[in-house]
């Protein structure tokens, strides 16, 4: 029997992990050879506490390896854990030789991080979910490591979209693996209150639920301009964490060396709070949880004592739950319009001699700080809390660039840097046409990686007040787990490395090399991530005759291969080495390769070199319009200069070079309804040979298409019987008055077109 099994068994292959560690260790010396973890290996620890940290790691290992090495206290083993007081807090030394592994640290956090590094050194198979039949090799390496910053954060907004307890744990898992140690939990905003508060049950009964306006299809439903809840509609979309859930998550995070910073946003961004307890709101408060992104009439009332009683009780419950030093109270983007008209707020300003609403905000924040300080905790606020005077003991989170952080450090306050232009991972990371509706502005991976945490303008002493850095994931456009991970990876690696690795040791090319191994690890876990930085970015410029195409990737050292006939590019396809000149209809597809292996997405773009190219185009005022037939096509971005802007009526005369047979007209219109930009609702095309007598060639009505809300490009094609023409008239109408229930209703729509194509 035994013999038979042995014969049937395939030879078990040895796999060796790669020493591509993120965040990059302070010092890493790669060697020759490997160490193999076997079922007979012995792990030695010094005490029960160490044993606990180590066995948690190896329990996980057992799930994929099918065995667990014996963990023993005291005796010398093959893998040895030793305390060493001389090592930095959170730091560790890890030495892998061909016959042993030695791990030294001063704290459990240090041992935990050594194990996270060990995990990255193991074969990729460690990241799989099921049993793997391999032998487990670890490359020989010597690592001395400790973090550059004590605050290495990740913020998750669970208000705009709710993420379950299990998903939060998954976030905490990937944070731990990247040696991030501060989970900032954005628990209350206009669109939802997410934590059970026993003294105020309506916060979750009412505040955790909103009307579900098509939350999954951002194409169809632009977050920032969703309709408000109508009376009679049921609020069914949302969720919250019970206090038991919170305790469970805190314990889970503690095992991963992560502190949680709860954030309750006030006095602004509080529509959900006020919907639950209108008595602490101002005049004109909205009686429901916000459905979209435009915030107004959403503030606490700083004029009422009830407001502070509420804040005190509620924050005390929060502080009972969270055992940590910091409590975040938001303080950002408080819309002061309500305060200007609220009698209580105005009375407070008189009584307290406050010269404006900024001072009123400062008055509010200072009273909140007292509540937090009375429990020996420290208040954190977004940098708006500087306005009107900073509360005496506050820590400031700088998000509107670094300005607020610099001013706070100069005033002697502690600071966490999260400038939106480097740390906001809710922004899109690739080309507008590839990532149409994820995020609004853009934060490229290379930009995120380039961040230097301590501004040069600070003295060494002031610089010490900068505690660290944090990635922020706001979730207006992130409605599910796949989008969450897509926006997070790989930018969180860039930010984790900036938080852990000293600036002088960071290197973009080295980072992007290590990233490819990281992608293999994500693949093994079936995690969705963005490869935008490895994908060709296609730019083009038409001159009315031909189109010049340039391509680049953010990551250096990649070869771009392409085709022009719409087929998939392979390594055998032509290499892009100089600008392409396109003078006939083409479908460009391009992909980047590294060492003959495809990386990144296939980027593609259709170029139509159509019959109206370079035609003379005159508007109804007799002015010439140059760029609407120039072969430069607008991308899905309001900022793209290729779009031609019209009022709600378009009336163009298009004169071709010669009499030409035509059968179809096409154009793209930008839909950006929150700004009042709608596709036209009716289009007419006339043709003429002599420019005097015109016949109607085609007419199209598309009221439904024109009425839809959202952000995208709308392509319209109108076909007609082939006809010879020299001159065409193109007429299009938008909304004279945008109807009720639509963005910018009451005003007239704009039409943005590019390009008008003729076939």
The residues that are catalytic are: 189, 269, 333
- Residue 384 Cβ vs ligand NAG, minimum distance, rounded to whole Å: 8
Under the binding rule (CB under 6 A), the answer on residue 426 touching ligand NAG is yes
Distance CA 546, CA 630 (A): 9
Q: Tell me the two tokens of residue 51.
A: 């044993």
The verdict on 730 binding ligand NAG (CB under 6 A) reads no
* Strand partners for 188: 193, 264
Which one, 487 or 654, has the nearer CB to ligand NAG? 487
| Element counts in the chain: helices (H) and strands (E) | 19, 32
Residue of the chain from 183, 474, 486, 643 that contacts ligand NAG (CB under 6 A):
474
Does position 332 interact with ligand NAG (CB under 6 A)? The reply is yes
| C-beta of residue 469 within 8 angstroms of C-beta of residue 455 | no
Site residues (CB under 6 A) for ligand NAG, limited to 541-600: none
Interface residue with ligand NAG, options 81, 146, 382, 493 (CB under 6 A): 382
Task: Tell me which DSSP letter residue 223 carries.
Answer: G
Q: What is the spatial distance between Cα 401 and Cα 599, in angstroms, rounded to a whole number?
A: 33
> Alpha-carbon distance 686 to 693, whole Å?
10
CB of 416 to ligand NAG, least distance (A): 12
> What binding mask, one character per residue, do residues 292-331 give for ligand NAG by CB under 6 A, x or -?
----------------------------------------
Q: Minimum distance from CB of 263 to ligand NAG (Å)?
A: 10
* Under 8 Å between Cβ of 748 and 738: yes
Interface residue with ligand NAG, options 200, 300, 424, 562 (CB under 6 A): 424
387 touches ligand NAG (CB under 6 A)? no
Q: Per CB under 6 A, which of residues 262..281 are in contact with ligand NAG?
A: 269
Q: Which of 375, 376, 415, 373 is nearest to 392 (CA)?
A: 373
Q: Do residues 642 and 631 touch, judged by C-beta distance below 8 A?
A: no
Strand (E) or helix (H) holding 650: strand 649-672
Residue 368 or residue 650: which is nearer to ligand NAG going by CB?
Answer: 368
Parallel, antiparallel or unpaired: strands 597-607 and 586-594 = antiparallel
Q: At closest approach, how far in Å is the CB of 694 from ligand NAG?
A: 50
Task: Name which of 424 and 537 has its Cβ closer to ligand NAG.
Answer: 424
* Residue 333 binds ligand NAG (CB under 6 A): yes
C-alpha closest to that of 712 among 515, 329, 480, 438: 438
Minimum CB distance to ligand NAG smaller for 400 or for 729: 400
CA of 257: how far to CAs of 120, 260, 682, in Å?
18, 10, 61
# residues contacting ligand NAG (CB under 6 A):
9
Q: Which two tokens stand for residue 540?
A: 């083009």
Tokens representing 523?
A: 């693949």
For ligand NAG, the closer of residues 35 and 424 by Cβ is 424
For ligand NAG, the binding residues in 388-407 under the rule CB under 6 A are 399
Q: How far is CA 746 from CA 50, 228, 294, 510, in A?
A: 68, 16, 18, 55
Q: How far is the CB of 328 from ligand NAG (least distance, A)?
A: 10
Phi-psi region of 586 (alpha: psi -120 to 50; beta: other; left: phi over 0): beta
In the complex, what is the shortest distance from the CB of residue 287 to ligand NAG, in angstroms, rounded to a whole number?
Answer: 21
Cα atoms found within 13 Å of the Cα of residue 450, Cβ hemisphere only: 8
- Smallest distance, ligand NAG to C-beta of residue 427, A: 7
Residues in 590-649 that interact with ligand NAG by CB under 6 A: none
User: Please, which residue, 94 or 466, has the CB nearer to ligand NAG?
Assistant: 466
For ligand NAG, give the closer residue by CB, 414 or 476.
476
Residue nearest to ligand NAG (CB): 474
Distance CA 384, CA 404 (A): 8
Residue placing its CB nearer to ligand NAG in the complex, 191 or 563: 191
Please give the residue ranges that form the binding site for ligand NAG (CB under 6 A).
269, 332-333, 382, 399, 424, 426, 474, 476
């Amino acid at each position: 029997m035994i013999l038979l099994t042995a014969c049937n068994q395939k030879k078990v292959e040895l796999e060796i992990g790669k020493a591509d560690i993120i965040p990059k260790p302070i010092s890493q010396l790669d060697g020759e050879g490997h160490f193999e973890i076997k079922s007979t290996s012995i792990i030695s620890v010094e005490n029960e506490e160490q044993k606990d940290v180590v066995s948690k790691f190896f329990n996980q290992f057992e799930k994929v390896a099918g065995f667990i090495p014996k963990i023993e206290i005291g005796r010398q083993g093959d893998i040895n854990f030793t305390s060493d007081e001389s090592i930095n807090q959170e730091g560790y030394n890890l030495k892998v030789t061909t016959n042993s592994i030695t791990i030294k640290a001063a704290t459990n956090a240090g041992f935990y991080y050594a194990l996270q590094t060990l995990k990255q050194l193991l074969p990729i198979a460690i990241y799989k979910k099921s049993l793997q039949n391999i032998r487990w090799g670890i490359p020989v390496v010597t690592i001395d490591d400790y973090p550059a910053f004590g605050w290495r954060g990740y913020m998750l907004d669970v208000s705009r979209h709710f993420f379950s307890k299990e998903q939060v744990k998954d976030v905490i898992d990937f944070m731990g693996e990247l040696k991030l140690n501060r989970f900032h939990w954005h628990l209350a905003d206009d669109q939802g209150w997410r934590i059970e508060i026993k003294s105020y049950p309506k916060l979750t009964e009412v505040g955790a639920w909103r009307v579900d306006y098509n939350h999954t299809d951002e194409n169809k439903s632009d977050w920032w301009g969703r309709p408000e809840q109508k009376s009679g509609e049921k609020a069914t979309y949302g969720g919250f964490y019970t206090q038991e859930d919170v305790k469970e998550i805190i314990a889970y995070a503690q095992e991963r060396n992560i502190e949680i910073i709860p954030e309750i946003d006030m006095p602004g961004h509080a529509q959900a709070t006020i919907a639950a307890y209108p008595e602490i709101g101002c005049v004109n408060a909205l009686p429901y949880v916000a459905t979209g992104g435009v915030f107004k009439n959403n503030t606490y009332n700083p004029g009422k004592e009830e407001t502070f009683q509420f804040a005190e009780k509620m924050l005390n419950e929060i502080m009972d739950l969270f055992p940590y030093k910091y409590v975040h109270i938001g303080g950002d983007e408080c819309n002061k319009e309500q305060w200007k008209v609220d009698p209580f707020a105005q009375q407070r300003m008189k009584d307290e001699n406050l010269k404006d609403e900024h001072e009123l905000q400062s008055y509010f924040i200072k009273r909140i700080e007292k509540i937090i300080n009375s429990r020996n905790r420290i208040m954190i606020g977004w940098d708006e809390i500087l306005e009107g005077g900073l509360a005496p003991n506050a820590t400031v989170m700088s998000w509107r660039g670094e300005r607020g952080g610099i001013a706070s450090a100069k005033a002697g306050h502690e600071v966490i840097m999260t400038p939106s232009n480097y740390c906001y991972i809710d922004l899109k990371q690739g080309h507008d046409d590839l990532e149409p509706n994820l995020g609004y502005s853009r934060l490229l991976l290379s930009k995120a990686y380039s961040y230097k945490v301590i501004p040069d303008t600070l003295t060494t002493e002031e610089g010490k007040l900068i505690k660290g850095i944090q990635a922020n994931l706001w979730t207006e456009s992130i409605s599910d787990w796949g989008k969450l991970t897509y926006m997070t990876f790989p930018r969180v690696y860039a930010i984790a490395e900036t938080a852990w690795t000293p600036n002088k040791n960071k290197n973009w090319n080295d980072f992007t090399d290590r990233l490819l191994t990281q992608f293999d690890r994500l693949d093994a876990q079936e995690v969705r991530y963005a490869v935008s930085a490895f994908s060709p970015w296609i730019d083009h410029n038409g001159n009315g005759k031909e189109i010049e195409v340039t391509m680049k990737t953010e990551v250096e050292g990649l070869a771009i291969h392409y085709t022009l006939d719409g087929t998939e590019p392979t390594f055998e396809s032509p290499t892009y080495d100089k600008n392409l000149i396109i003078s006939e209809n083409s479908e460009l597809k391009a992909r980047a390769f590294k060492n003959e292996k495809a990386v990144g997405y296939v980027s593609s773009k259709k170029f139509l070199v159509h019959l109206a190219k370079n035609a003379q185009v005159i508007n109804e005022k007799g002015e010439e319009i140059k760029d609407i037939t120039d072969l430069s096509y607008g991308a899905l971005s309001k900022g793209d200069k290729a779009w031609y802007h019209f009022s709600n009526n378009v009336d163009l005369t298009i004169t071709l070079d010669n009499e030409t047979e035509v059968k179809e007209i096409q154009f793209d219109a930008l839909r950006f309804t929150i700004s009042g930009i709608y596709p036209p609702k009716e289009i007419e095309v006339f043709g003429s040979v002599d420019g005097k007598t015109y016949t109607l060639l085609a007419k199209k009505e598309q009221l439904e298409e024109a009425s839809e809300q959202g952000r995208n490009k709308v392509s319209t094609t109108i076909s007609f019987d082939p006809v010879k023409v020299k001159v065409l008239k193109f007429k299009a109408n938008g909304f004279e008055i945008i109807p009720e229930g639509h963005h910018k209703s009451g005003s007239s729509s704009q039409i943005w077109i590019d390009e008008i194509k003729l076939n």
